[in-house]
């Protein structure tokens, strides 16, 4: 998965954790934790251990925020600067040849 796709997944997971808080659930459901672990593993190797057995929504949200920060950094680094394409190099070469021909 690309960092951008993982960021989208983390946004969706964050939504569900917020829903847990709205519904006043004390723990995050297991199906959500398993999806979260996939994102955490890709974001940073220390994050799954930080989650550990933690299931309280407030704490899980903090870990998701840290994962998003790591994923944003990865997304920025994966998109390096683009290759510069010379737009008028051919016209410049023709102009140089014409200039050389005129001086002869």
Average pLDDT for 9-25: 94
Contact 55, 64 (CB under 8 A): no
pLDDT at 48: 92
Range of the domain at 20: 3-78
Question: What pLDDT is stored for residue 84 in this prediction?
Answer: 73
Residue 63 inside a domain? The answer is yes
89 falls within a domain: no
The model's confidence at residue 81, banded by pLDDT at 50, 70 and 90, is confident
Q: Are 23 and 60 in contact (CB under 8 A)?
A: no
- Region 67-89: what's the mean pLDDT? 81
- Is residue 43 in some structural domain? yes
| Banded model confidence at residue 91, pLDDT cuts 50, 70, 90 | low
| Residue 10 is assigned to a structural domain of this protein | yes
Choice among 53-57, 62-66, 76-80, 99-103 with the minimum mean pLDDT: 99-103
The number of domains in the chain is 1
């Amino acid at each position: 998965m690309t960092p951008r796709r993982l960021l989208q997944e983390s946004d969706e997971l964050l939504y569900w954790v917020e829903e847990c808080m709205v519904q006043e659930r004390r723990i995050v459901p297991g199906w959500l934790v398993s999806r979260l672990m996939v994102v955490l593993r890709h974001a940073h190797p220390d994050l799954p251990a930080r989650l550990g057995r933690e299931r309280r929504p407030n704490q899980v949200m903090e870990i998701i925020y840290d994962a998003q920060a790591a994923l944003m950094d990865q997304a920025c680094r994966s998109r390096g600067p683009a290759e510069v394409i010379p737009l008028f190099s051919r016209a410049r070469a023709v102009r140089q040849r014409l200039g050389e021909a005129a001086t002869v």
